[in-house]
Structure formats: C-alpha cells, structure tokens
Amino acid sequence: MMKYARTLCLLVSCLVFDAIEVAAQNSIVLRQQGTNEDEVELKLGDEITIDIFADLGTVGASGISVFVTLPKDVFHIIDQRTENEAATQPFVPGLLFAEAAESRNLVVSPDDALNISDDLSLLEYVVVIGAGSDRSRTGSGVVASFQL
C-alpha cells in the first residue's frame, strides 16, 4: 500500500509542476502604446493610449477575457464606438486576435459589477475565435487598446 502512495504522490507532483510551467508562459500586461512603458506619469488633461499585451507562449488560446478597473474620479474613458453602437465601447481590437468575434466591449454598469467599489469603473473586453481551421492563437501581441 505504501508503494502505491509514493507513486501517486510523484505523479501528482509532476502534473502540478507541468501546470506551473505552462502558467508561467502566459502573461498579460498593460503598457503605454508607442513606448511600451508600464509606469507612466500623467498631468491633468493628458491623454494616454494603453495596450493590453498578452504573451500566450506556445499554448493555443481560442479567446481571451480582460477586465480592467479604474478610479472613476481620476480617469475619463474615451469612447471608441461608431454611430451604430448604443453603449460606450472603450476598447479598440488589437492584432493578436484579429478577425475574432468581439463578444464584450463595454464599461460594465454599476448594477452588473458585483464586488466592485462605487468609486471604480470596470471595463470588460472579450474576444472568441469562431469555427474554422485557424481556431487558436499562440505567441504574443496586443489584444486591445483603450484611451484615457
């Protein structure tokens, strides 16, 4: 019985370490467009474009969901919508998921934003690749951008 317990423990350890290795390959960072800086100083009235940059590594992804919170009283979110959209759309699609279906691009209403403080805005962006032969993305690139 003890022999089986050691084998099982070793197998679980290997699976956990493999999962950690895969997770370490993926990252999402916010950075200033054009400079790639992740820390920026702004003055009152300055505008900034922020890229959401993802490094998927070699793991294929068929979509991505991004949530960004911002203080309401500090930043003004610039609307990117065209005339046909009703709600504020803060995001412009990036190249990493080019031609994917955009299913969410909005500032979440305070009634729908559970567990978010009243002094914060919650931005949500979701893209999914549909059916076809090219159904996943690997590598790195800009998922979307937004302006403040």
Name the DSSP class of 35: T
Q: What is the pLDDT of residue 51?
A: 92
What is the Cα–Cα distance from 75 to 78, expressed in whole angstroms?
Answer: 9
The residue ranges of the chain whose pLDDT is under 70 are 1-25, 85-86, 113, 132-133
Give residue 36's pLDDT.
82
pTM score, two decimals?
Answer: 0.76
Q: Which pLDDT score is estimated for 4?
A: 39
pLDDT at 21: 46
Side chain identity, residue 106: L
